[in-house]
Amino acid sequence: MELVPLADGFGVEVKGVSLLDVAIDAQAYTEVRKAFETHSLLVFRDQQIADDVQVAYSRAFGPLELTKAASVGENSFYSRLTNVGSQGEIVPPDHRQVLVAKANALWHTDSSFKKTPALASVLTARVLPDAGGETEYTSTRLAWERLPADLQEKLKRAVATHSYANSRDQIHPDLANAEERKALPPVRWRLNWRNPSNDRRALYVASHAYAIDGMDDRDARQLLAQLLDEATRPEFVYSHKWRQGDAVMWDNRAMLHRGRPWDYSRERSMVRTTISATEADGLSEVKPPVTH
C-alpha cells in the first residue's frame, strides 16, 4: 500500500489497495484503518464502484447509519445525493434535491445533529458534471492545534447544541420539513473530540451548531462563527476534483467538508454511506456531562 499526500498535514491518496480488498482482507483493513486514524481523509481512485462493495467496505469500520427520514434512500444504508428525479428527469433549481445540495455547501460534519454522531463517511462518484461540484475538506484537528492554549482549555469543557434545522433554515425555511424536525431534535456535544488511537484532539463544530451552554445566544453564535472561520481558512482547505471511479472517506470527528456548486441543469449523482461512532471511537468523551 502506498500513501500519497494530498494536503499539508492531512489527506492521502491510497494506492495498491481497493475498497473490496479492505472489505475482505483483515490485513488490508488494518493498514487502511491506521491511515484513516492518522490522515483523516482517504482518496481511492479508479475503483469498481457498486452499492454492495461500498457497504461492505464501510461496514468494516463500524455500524452503518440508516439514511434519515425525507431523504432519497430513506431507511437504507445509502444516501443518494442527486439532482435526478424519480422519473429520470433533471429536477428544477428550486426542487428540494437541489436545495439539499445547496445546504451541503455549508461547512459541516456529517450527523452531528443525530443522537449517535458519525465516525466516518464514504462518498462515491456515480455520475459527474463536466465542471464544478468539487468537495472541499479541512482538518479540525489542525485547527484545534492552531488555537491558543487558553481557548483550548475553555473549549475542552464547552458544550454546543447542534440541530439539522439550524443549517437547513439558512438555505430555505421549509427545507427541514415537519417530519425531519420531529425525528431530529437538537442534540448537545462537547466542542472537541479526542481520538483514542493517537490522543489528538479536534475541534468539533459545524453549521448545525448554534448554541453553547452558559453563553448568551449572540456571543455563542459569534464564537461558533469564529471557530468555523479559523478552521476553514482557504490556505488550509483541500479541494477534491472528482473523477469517475473515485471513493473518498473522511473522519467526521476531525474534518469539515462542503460541496461546491455546479450547473444544476447537468446531472450529478453521488452515493454516501455513513459509519456511526462507537465507544471505541471516543464517543463517550464527546458526550456532555450528565446533569441531574
Question: C-alpha dihedral over 95, 98, 99, 105, to 10 degrees?
Answer: -170
Residue-level pLDDT at 292: 56
Give the residue carrying C-alpha cell 488555537: 147
Alpha-carbon torsion (110, 263, 261, 47), positive or negative: positive
Burial class (CB in 10 A: 0-12, 13-18, 19+), 88: exposed
Minimum mean pLDDT among 67-71, 81-85, 214-218, 250-254: which range? 67-71
State mean pLDDT over 218-239. 97
Q: Which residues pair with 257 in a beta bridge?
A: 108, 137
Average pLDDT, the chain: 94
Question: What is the share, in percent, of the chain residues with pLDDT greater than 70?
Answer: 99
C-alpha cell of residue 52: 454492495
| pLDDT tens sequence across 242-260 | 999 999 999 999 999 999 9
Q: Name the nearest CA neighbour of 210 among 196, 190, 224, 197.
A: 224
Question: pTM for the full model?
Answer: 0.95
| pLDDT tens sequence across 30-57 | 999 999 999 999 999 999 999 999 999 9
| pLDDT tens sequence across 90-108 | 999 999 899 888 988 899 9
- Is residue 247 within 8 Å of residue 122, measured between CB atoms? yes
Distance CA 19, CA 63 (A): 17
Q: How confident is the model at residue 68 (pLDDT cuts 50, 70, 90)?
A: confident
SS (H, E, C) the chain: CEEEECCCCCCEEEECCCHHHHHHCHHHHHHHHHHHHHHCEEEECCCCCCHHHHHHHHHCCCCECCCCCCCCCCCCCCEEEECECCCCCECCCCCHHHHHHHHCCCCECCCCCCCCCEEEEEEEEEECCCCECCEEEEEHHHHHHHCCHHHHHHHHHCEEEECHHHHHHCCCCCCCCHHHHHHCCCEEEECEEEECCCCEEEECCCCCEEEECCCCHHHHHHHHHHHHHHHCCHHHEEEECCCCCCEEEEECCCEEEEECCECCCCCCEEEEEEEECCHHHCHHHHCCCCCC
